[in-house]
Amino acid sequence: AKAAGRHCVRFFEMEMDAQARMQHVLEIDLRNALARGELDVHYQVIVDVGTRMPCGVEALVRWQHPVFGPLSPDRFIPIAEDTGMIIAIGEWILRRACTDAMAWPAHIKVAVNLSPVQFRDPGLVPTVRAILATAGLPPSRLEIEITESVLLQKNAVITGMLTELAGLGINIVLDDFGVGYSSLSYLRQFPFSKIKIDRGFVSEMTQRTDCATIVSAVTGLAHALDMQTTAEGVETWEQFRLVQAAGCSQAQGYLFSKPQPADRIDFSRRGNGER
């Protein structure tokens, strides 16, 4: 039994080594990914709950690794954050999204995720301003999605940056509401234009009525504070009906569309159940 235990420990160490090696390989490869054109931005449609017509998209980065194939952002964004590469990568994503959006109807907004690490860059606001100007995109068409982890730093500098971005006319969106601490006090800390209600809540709404109650309450509060709400991860019509009943302004999820390349989005197509 003792020998077996030792084997287990040994195996665990080997696994650790393999994982660490893999991280290391990905880190090196990520350094070249931008230059080699392996990164791409896909877009997922966001629909207006009332009309079920597209009103915006969320930009989601993709990495086509030459050996491992497509890698989820959850695999490489943390590496990009740890190494600081997220500054250059995030800038590239923002530029791509703003440029791509110029080809879309003027009522379509484009949402871009910004990492907390990007807010440690004092050049962030000037960079965003320059990218908008170069692309020619009106700031009102850009949404910047941040998670509460940006606000956790409880830093006057960050609030200042958010205020400056909002001052440019950019919409600031609180992402993943309902996971982590998601204290309602965040809603006071900064005037968000929108709250995105996390997929976890939406998927539980169909099983648990208290979840549906919470979503209605959050939506009511948000609207009272002049903020819109988007329900994330809507996969079924049952979920869509609950999201609609809860009063959410917008919905996003596989029910309407998966993230896809810029040239494949159909903005004239209504999300409808008759299929």
Choice between 13 and 239, CB closer to ligand C2E: 239
Distance, CA of 150 to CA of 172 (rounded, Å): 12
Distance, CA of 145 to CA of 172 (rounded, Å): 6
Distance, CA of 30 to CA of 79 (rounded, Å): 8
Decide: is 113 part of the binding site for ligand C2E (CB under 6 A): yes
Beta bridge partners of 224: none
Interface pick for ligand C2E out of 43, 47, 104, 115 (rule CB under 6 A): 115
Beta-sheet strands, E only, within the chain = 39-48, 54-65, 69-71, 109-113, 142-146, 171-177, 194-197, 228-231, 250-252, 260-261
Decide: is 143 part of the binding site for Ca ion (CB under 5 A): no
Strands 39-48 and 250-252: antiparallel
Apex CA 248: angle with CA 272 and CA 50, to 5°?
40
Choice between 145 and 148, CB closer to Ca ion: 145
Decide: is 259 part of the binding site for ligand C2E (CB under 6 A): yes
Binding segment (CB under 6 A) for ligand C2E, from list 2-10, 16-24, 69-77, 154-162? 69-77
Binding mask 32-61 for Ca ion (x = CB under 5 A): ------------------------------
Decide: is 233 part of the binding site for ligand C2E (CB under 6 A): yes
Would you tell me which residues interact with ligand C2E (CB under 6 A)?
A: 44, 59-61, 72-74, 77, 90, 93, 113, 115, 175-176, 199, 233-235, 253-254, 259
